[in-house]
Chains A and B, each alone.
Chain A
Amino acid sequence: MLEMLSYDFMQRSLLAAMLVGAMCSVIGVFVVLRGLAFVGAGTAHAAFAGVALAYLVGLPPLPLAIAFGLATVWLTGVMEEKGRMKLDVSIGILYTATMALAILFIGLMKGYNAEVYGYLFGSVLSVTPEELGIILALSLLVLGAILTFSKELYFIAFDQEMAEASGVPARRIFYLLLTLVALTVVVSLKTVGAILVFAMVLIPASTAYQLTHSLSHMTAYSVGIGISCATGGVMLSYLWDLPSGPAIVLLATAVFLLSVLLSPKRLRRAGLAAS
């Protein structure tokens, strides 16, 4: 089993999985607590539309994916603030519209482009050294920003108006959070794919949510679960010759289901209700 660690590509993919696992699971805490799950899922599809457009016109995919991702989250943020329409409706429209754009761009391409599908389904085992460099740089940026603004991010997740009222620039922090969500999604696109990336954001944090009633513990558990599932999934994918994205996500889902069954919170509440 240890022989897999001797291959360059395995070292790269394990490192990539670890970084993506860490980044997704930390941002996931704020996404879950601030109720932005659907926003992130929409962003993943928008970013994929950016990738498709890049391949269509022959530009590098990363900048366009970032541009599409950012445009979507910011638009969603504005819509939430204005509150003219229910958020799930407006995101639902954005989500499907960007997916339609992606399909349109793919349809306009001449012939079949396997690389584009790599972004849709993820292929961590084929991460190149350059891609690993980009993942490393962007994940350090995202994690650094979260660390720097963690107290403000926790505060707006708990109660944005109360945060604003006590002098925290809550609105700007909210947009920072949206921006970090978009960057996380884009960076993870190549690893787990547009369809599955959001599972990596939601599952570790929701699993941790089941297990504790403390913010700091929730974050620590989430990161532990995120990194373990991402690297564990890569290993399973190598050992059993499975596609990496689904291996990671299904492993995480299994851990999540286990946490729901064994949730101390749920058991305690059930105990309180029974007594």
Chain B
Amino acid sequence: MAKTIIRFSHATFGFHDVLALKDISLEVSEGEFVGVIGPNGSGKTTLCRAVLGLLRPLEGSLQIFDCACEQLRCHHRARIGYLPQKGALDRNFPITVLETVMMGRYGVLGLFHRPRKRDREIALEALVNVGMQDHRDTALGDLSGGQQQRVLIARALAQQPQVLLLDEPTTGIDITTQHSVLELIRRLHQELGLTVLLITHDINMIRPLVDRLVLLKTRLFAAGPPDEVLKPDLLSQVYGKELVITEKDLVIVEDYHHHR
């Protein structure tokens, strides 16, 4: 039985009386690939921020690794490689690919330690892992959306994390690139033995990849293998009218608008 590395027990999160997540109990084991799904505003990103230690539970508890996260700024963060939701990256921001990936070392190094040759090697290795080694001196802003995602994944890998936390990694990039980014994540999961937590609205796309799906809508509706979670009665409770299930058992959540 693999070690549990993330444990929510009856944890509730929110801001100013608005509850984003209520009474969540969930355990994630080392090496698992977990997909987190749910409609807009279901608390997916809150879950992500909680795992990162940016939010404290209002009730219940959250343990990451061996850490109870009472302290918001917690040492465990450097062991979680995080790919944030793709915001509008300023294409003119003067930063090269290698400089971007080196930032992955900064949190690990801590204050007062300057990056050394070894850190640079780790960053270059991370670039090789995502297949971007030939672009190390290219401006980040000159890359395509999919290439930028790869570089930001390399930045997360440069932390040498145990957990890879990806918030909507395929949103805002074209469909071919989406597949290649997901294939990259699958490969990193297998080859580097990383625990992956992938947050997405695209159920079809991740269904074949994950060990377990977690279905959220403020509460945790289900957590288990895809076949157990993707049941019409469960899904319709969460998605309501937006849900269409086709004959071939494909789940389509209509009209996804990305609010951000």
Contact = CB atoms under 8 A, between A and B. Distances in A.
Q: Do A and B come from the same complex? A: yes
Interface of A: 33, 148-149, 151-152, 154-155, 158-159, 161-169, 209, 212-218, 265
B82 A213 contact: no
Residue of A167, A217, A265 contacting most chain B CB atoms (<10 Å): A167
Contacts of B130: none
B95 A214 contact: yes
Contact of A215 (B73, B95, B141, B159): B95
Rank and list the top 9 A-B pairs by shortest CB-CB distance, nearest first: A213-B139, A166-B107, A167-B107, A167-B77, A167-B78, A165-B52, A218-B94, A151-B106, A165-B82
Interface stretch (B33-41, B111-119, B199-207, B212-220): B111-119
B155 to A, nearest CB: 8
B106 A163 contact: yes
A155 B95 CA distance: 11
Task: Provide the main secondary structure of the chain A interface.
Answer: helix
A212 B78 CA distance: 30
B246 interface: no
Given A209-B94, A213-B139, A214-B96, A165 B84 contact: yes
Interface in B146-165: 159
Contacts of A217: 94
Residue of A33, A158, A166, A216 contacting most chain B CB atoms (<10 Å): A166
A137 B52 CA distance: 40
Interface residues of B, number: 33
A122 B112 CA distance: 36
Interface of B: 52, 54, 73, 75, 77-78, 80, 82, 84, 92-96, 99-100, 103-104, 106-112, 114-115, 137, 139-142, 159
Given A152-B106, A155-B107, 8 more contacts: A154-B99, A154-B103, A163-B106, A167-B108, A168-B107, A209-B94, A212-B94, A216-B99
Contacts of B108: 166-167
Contacts of B75: 167
A155 B103 contact: yes
B84 A162 contact: yes
Contacts of A213: 94-96, 139-142
